[in-house]
Structure 1
């Protein structure tokens, strides 16, 4: 059975770097005029040559976003269930080698955290765990979804990659979407940052969206951890992956997230710095080439910058996030997975959106429909 691994093997990282950096202003102008832009146009739009076209890109991205999504912003919140993890990941606060207190929420604690988010108005909730199959495996996730299903319209997960039959089980219980980031599409760099644990299996992780789509998931979120490698090349391969998924599994919806490497206790510095202008360029490139895809921004980003992005391509955002298990109510002072930049309350961000002419949307999809 085919999967994205066979597609990825047809491309060379260094050749893609050369292709991106060889783009000219004429290539960028042509991409902006294209009626049906393709991956080569995307390559031009993320190239250094496109930096001088950022205003035109932003204007086009804004227009396309408004035409497709209207004046709305989908709101969601993460709920961290556990920081236990069997993997060694050099950039993550939950890494197995980090000497931190480990915590996995009980049923009662899950509901306490959920009640806080429910009172804030959230209907979309993202369950997050470390990758520890014994403590937070399929049975734990199945139970958590069962607990939360009566309280939320949409339940998504960002957890360890699973087999297809496991996803089928969770979908039958009410799972709506799954986020799984490849972190980097550069095999050697991936190996450097994932030396131990199940996550060290590059291809198993790479093929997770294939298993998800075959299991019948409603939405899949992908992305790269921006900063582990050259952001332009990693973004090309993320776009290649998205294009493959949209073509192969056209019934499934897709989202792209833009996590920039953030500090944590004992963490690493980014290999490649990505400026705010770089990230804006990337977001606009995605919107121009992939007009219907959901583009999401988290509270990793500063408040002022997030306020600017809400009209320029982003269609989904989190607010008041806590990245530690029990962080909302149960144990607010426990160690977070990474530092949060935008610490505003849900209410203040909702008001910012309204002041910007946007409607915060707490629920946009009903399973019965």
Structure 2
């Protein structure tokens, strides 16, 4: 199957819900104006002296000069985390129920044009997996699919989540973005939170590596978390695939995106994932930026402090 769809990545497709929100404009505006090289040691020290950080402080902590303060950042991030969450660690496990996908993303193994074995669990298979995972004592599960609305329609995912709720206290989904009324259906089926990775917040780079499928539409994906909260979800998760583009800018956009959603929906539980692109096929088409261990640590510490 060849799926080719030449559309402007900023243009919505038929049936995709457009909401009244200015959060995307605010995030992209910050991305276009930030100059990480302008920050100096004084800026970083000032950010580390504060309990409540603003956008300028976040940018300072993600700047090149902040790498010299990594130990101080990590120490304060650890103290901040323990202040609000104690020494608790929350565990969950992902459960893929299908790997079909309609998208043409040059960096992904699930790419619709890739010749791989596709599989999809039926109801009995799903129950079997859920029972075995529940035996471990885990109370939270994340239901995942590839992004195929044709092979894994909303009804199929909703049924899987309904089954998952029988065995787990908390059910999340990481699937293709939906309209708010569709998220409401999943919420009624037992789903508590939604994860959507933006991959990169650079619309130009986004268009170059997402060549076809519904995922190609940048703003529809961007607003997925807000639509999920409009559909009644308790929490939403964010993430950029660091390395696709400038990791400092994508990390800043991720944190700003999450914070603006939190400010607009103060009841919502917010989380951020920190995936990193590693050497893969099609490297020459992506030109990934190296995200070192120290860079990854800097991002995580900046997220926690912000």
Normalised to the residue count of structure 1, the TM-score between the two structures is 0.75
Instruction: Tell me, in whole angstroms, the C-alpha distance in 1 between the residues paired with 2:146 and 2:91.
Output: 23
**DSSP-derived class of the 2:212 partner:** coil
Distance 1:178-1:80 versus aligned 2 partners, 3 A rule: same
**Which residue in the other structure is 2:29 paired with?**
10
Task: Check whether the contact 1:23–1:44 (CA below 8 A) recurs between aligned residues.
Answer: yes
Distance 1:25 1:184, change over 3 A: same
Aligned to 1:288: 305
Tell me which of 142, 145, 150 is aligned to 2:158: 142
- Candidates 141, 153, 157, aligned match of 2:169: 153
Q: 2:112 aligns with which of 90, 93, 96?
A: 96
Query: Contact 2:31–2:249 (CA<8 Å) still a contact in 1?
Result: no
Q: CA RMSD in A?
A: 1.4
Aligned residue in 2 for 1:278: 295
TM-score w.r.t. length of structure 2: 0.90
1:121 counterpart SS class: coil
Q: Distance in 2 between matches of 1:262 and 1:274?
A: 9
Aligned to 1:254: 270
Q: What displacement does 1:184 show?
A: 0.3
Provide Cα deviations, 1:123-173, integer angstroms capped at 9, x if missing partner: 110011111102212101111011121111111000000000000011011
2:136 to 107, 120, 125: 120
Kindly indicate whether residue 57 of structure 2 is the aligned counterpart of residue 41 of structure 1: yes
**Moved segments of 4+, more than 4 Å:** none
Q: 2:199 matched to 1:180?
A: no
Is contact 1:93–1:267 with CA below 8 Å preserved after alignment?
Answer: no
Distance 1:112 1:203 in 2: 37
Which residue pairs with 1:80 in the alignment? 96
Separation in structure 1 between the aligned mates of residue 73 and residue 31 of structure 2, nearest angstrom: 28
Report the Cα distance in structure 2 between the residues aligned to 1:214 and 1:6, rounded to whole angstroms.
19
2:235 matched to 1:212?
no
Q: After superposition, give the CA deviation of every residue in 1:237-277 in whole Å (9 maximum; x if it has no partner).
A: 1122112101111111100000001456x453761000111
Q: Which of 79, 82, 101 is residue 63 of structure 1 equivalent to?
A: 79
Spell out, residue by residue over 1:167-206, the C-alpha distance to the aligned partner (whole angstroms, 9 max, x if none).
0011011101100011000001001110100000011111
Give the length in aligned residue pairs: 285
Alpha-carbon distance, 1:115 to partner? 2.0
Q: Deviations over 1:335-358 (max 9, x none)?
A: xxxxxxxxxxxxxxxxxxxxxxxx
2:147 aligned to which of 131, 139, 144: 131
Aligned partners of 1:239, 1:149: CA distance in 2, in Å? 30
Question: How far is the alpha carbon of 1:7 from its aligned partner?
Answer: 2.1
User: Contact 1:39–1:239 (CA<8 Å) still a contact in 2?
Assistant: no
Shift of 1:97: 1.1
Does 1:163 pair with 2:174? Answer: no
- How big is the shift at 1:50? 0.5
Q: CA deviation at 1:2?
A: 2.0
Instruction: State the 1:35 CA deviation.
Output: 3.0
